[in-house]
Chain A
Amino acid sequence: MRLTIEASLRRIVDLLRDEVGPEVQTPFLAQSVRMAGGLLTICANWVDDAAAIRVEENAAIRKVLAEASVSLDGDLSARLRAASLSSDPGLRISQLDAENHRLRMLLVEAHGVAERGEGASPQVLDAAIWRLLEEIELKRAQREQAHPYGQ
Chain B
Amino acid sequence: MSDLAMSDLAMSGFAARIAAYLTHRMPKAEGLAVDELARIYGGSSQETYRLRARWREHGEAVEKRLILRRDAPAGLVVAERDLEFNVYRALAGQGVPIPEAHFLELDPVWLDRPFFIMDLCTGRPGDPFASPDPYDGHDEAIARQFWTHLGTLAAIDHRAVGLAGLRNGEAEGGFWSRELGRWEGILNEGEAVIEPIVRGAIRWLRGNPPPEPAKPAVVHGDYRSGNFLFTPDGRLSAILDWEMCHIGDPLEDAAWAIDPFWPITRHLPLEDGLSAWEAASGLSADREALDWWRLFAAVKACAIWTTAEAAVQSGESHEMIVALSGIRAGHFHRKQILALLRERGAIA
Contact = CB atoms under 8 A, between A and B. Distances in A.
Same complex for A and B? Answer yes
Contacts of B4: 29, 32
Interface string A96-138: 0100110011011001100100000001001101100110010
B39 interface: yes
Contacts of A105: 194
Contacts of A31: 41, 320
Name A's interface SS. Answer: helix
A22 interface: no
Given A97-B193, A105-B194, A148-B325, A137 B331 contact: yes
B70 to A, nearest CB: 14
Interface string A39-51: 1001000000000
Interface stretch (B21-29, B86-94, B173-181, B196-204): B196-204
Interface residues of B, number: 33
Contacts, number: 92
A150 interface: yes
Interface string B305-316: 000000000000
B62 interface: no
B193 A101 contact: yes
Q: Which 6 A-B pairs have the closest CB atoms?
A: A35-B320, A148-B328, A149-B129, A28-B39, A31-B41, A101-B193
Interface in B303-348: 319-321, 323-325, 327-329, 331-332, 334-335, 338, 347-348
Interface stretch (A5-13, A71-79, A80-88, A139-147): A139-147
Given A28-B39, A137-B338, 14 more contacts: A26-B38, A28-B40, A32-B321, A35-B320, A35-B321, A35-B324, A39-B323, A107-B196, A108-B199, A130-B200, A130-B347, A133-B338, A148-B328, A149-B324
A142 B331 contact: yes
Nearest to A112: B203
B223 to A, nearest CB: 19
B192 interface: yes
Given A97-B192, A148-B332, A28 B41 contact: yes
A141 B197 CA distance: 14
Contacts of A89: none
Contacts of A104: 193-196
A141 B331 contact: yes
A137 B193 CA distance: 13
Interface in B173-229: 192-197, 199-200, 203
Contacts of A27: 38, 41
